[in-house]
Each structure stands twice: as structure tokens, then as C-alpha cells.
Amino acid sequence: MLKPPEVIRSALCTEKEEALPREFGLLSWNVYKQNLGVRFNTYFEELVRQHDIDLVALQEVKINPNNRHFFDNFHFSLAPNMQFLNHIYGVLNGSRIREQESFSLLSTHRESLIRTHKSSVFSYYRLPEGGSLLLANLHAINFRATKIYNREVEMILERVRHHQGAMIVTGDFNSWNRNRMGIVLRLMESLGLRCVEMDRDYLIKSFMKHKLDHIFYRGVEVKESYVIDVERFSDHNALYARFAYES
């Protein structure tokens, strides 16, 4: 496995400075490396139309570096965690508007069995009346001790602590026990972030009744939120939240 580039970007051709709409839809989904198939892309386009999605935060994305335009009408930034043969894997933020900037973070520790790092991607989007929304998308380390999990999640959130405005933190937290979930909630509370409560939350990927996927937010208002059943493509269902910007 080769060490991949820091961030891979694809931007649509646009010269105007764009801002998020006052109401915007976010889809957060661990796609289980299934996103390169024709069936997936057709279904993804249907999801975007049906749910009016403006932002996507995807985990376990798989891309071919020679063909980056696999999401039509979306700019994206991907933070890789590994490269194998002709493909790169990681977490991806996508948007209908061009981001202001983005950066990535690789975990200090590796997974105990497959020896891969985990990655996070952070993107800034302009808001209608100035200022920026920060979208942080993470795939937390899994098969390591609780103290390592705590250290890695702390490291991720330290990278966003300086941001003063609206923020969304989402992804696959691998929060599969009480200790891990307690760490996540404590750190999110320290940033003034609340957890989105989902309709049909019984569909969220869980282990021993502990949910793995979450959306946390501040500086925006939740208008609606629910889980979308996408089990034909992934072992994780997708989380959808519609937000309104609080001016």
C-alpha cells in the first residue's frame, strides 16, 4: 500500500464567487467503496434530486486518480488514507458550490490488523451574509484501545477548535461502545456542538446498540433529518439533514 497525496480535488469550471443557500441539505454516508459503479452513480444522482442535496460527506470512497469526475455537478475534496494498485481510498466532502479552502488530517496511529491510517477532511464554504461554514468529515480509528481512540478524536477536533462560526462535524465515528460514545459527546460539547436527532434512527449502523454514524452541528438550525435506507449499496445507511443558516 502506497502513501497517497494529501488532498485530491476536483472543481467544476466556475468564475463567480458562490455561497451556500440559506437552506441546504447534507448527506453523510459510508459508501463501503461502492461509488465507482454505474448503478451507484445513477442512484446517487437520484438521491441528490429527490432530497435536494447541496453537501455530501462520504467515507470509504474509492477513486481512480485518472478519472476524478465521478460526481456530476459537484466539486469535491478527498483526503486519502491509502492507495492500492490503481485506486485511492479515503473520505470526501462534495458540494454544489466551490469550497473556499480545504485540508486533511491523517491519524497518528494505524489500525491494528490492516495497518492503515484513518483520514479526515475539512472544508470551508461561504455563507450568504459572509463568514464560513466549516464541514469536518471523519472516519475514526476502529480497532485500537480506548485511550488511542480518545487521542485520535481529540486531535481531529483540535483542528477545528479555532473556527468561530457555523460548523458541522459528521462521519463514521466507530463509536461502538459506551466509552467511545462518551468521548465523542464530551468533545462535541466542548465545541458547542449538538447531535442531530434522526427520524428512523433505528436504521443507523450500530454495534451492540451503539450508533456509529452521527452529525453534530452549531450555528445552523435543523429543519428536518432522517435516515435513508441504502443497504443495497453499503452496510451503512445514509444520514440526511436539512439545515437553515442562522444569520
Question: For residue range 164-194, what is the model confidence (pLDDT) as tens digits?
Answer: 999 999 999 999 999 999 999 999 999 999 9
Put the strands of the sheet holding 23-30 in their side by side order.
8-10, 75-84, 87-95, 55-63, 23-30, 238-245, 220-228
Which DSSP symbol is given to 112? T
pLDDT above 90 coverage of the chain, percent: 70
* Residues 160/169, Cβ–Cβ less than 8 Å: yes
pLDDT digits (tens, 9 = 90+) for 4-48: 667 877 766 565 668 999 999 999 999 987 777 788 888 999 999
How confident is residue 3, by pLDDT bands cut at 50, 70 and 90? low
pLDDT digits (tens, 9 = 90+) for 88-128: 999 999 999 999 999 999 988 887 777 788 999 999 999 99
* Residues 210/178, Cβ–Cβ less than 8 Å: yes
Work out the burial of residue 67: count CB atoms within 10 Å of its CB; fewer than 13 is exposed, 13-18 middle, 19 or more buried. Answer: exposed
Predicted pLDDT at 57: 98
| 3-state helix/strand/coil string of 32-71 | CCCCCCHHHHHHHHHHHHHHCCCEEEEEEEEEECCECCCC
The amino acid sitting at 102 is: S
The amino acid sitting at 231 is: E
Strand partners, 245: 220
Lowest mean pLDDT among 1-5, 25-29, 130-134, 233-237: 1-5
Distances 89 to 2, 76, 85, 117 between C-alpha atoms, Å: 11, 14, 11, 11
Backbone angles phi, psi at 128, to 5 degrees: -55, -35
Domains of the chain, earliest start first: 19-245 (3.60.10.10)
Quote the pTM value. Answer: 0.94
- Tell whether the model's pLDDT for residue 247 goes beyond 80: no
How confident is residue 69, by pLDDT bands cut at 50, 70 and 90? low
Mean pLDDT over the full length of the chain: 90
239: Cβ contacts below 8 Å, ≥ 6 apart: 27, 28, 29, 170, 196, 198, 204, 213, 214, 215, 225, 227, 228
Q: How far apart are CA 24 and CA 161, in angstroms?
A: 23
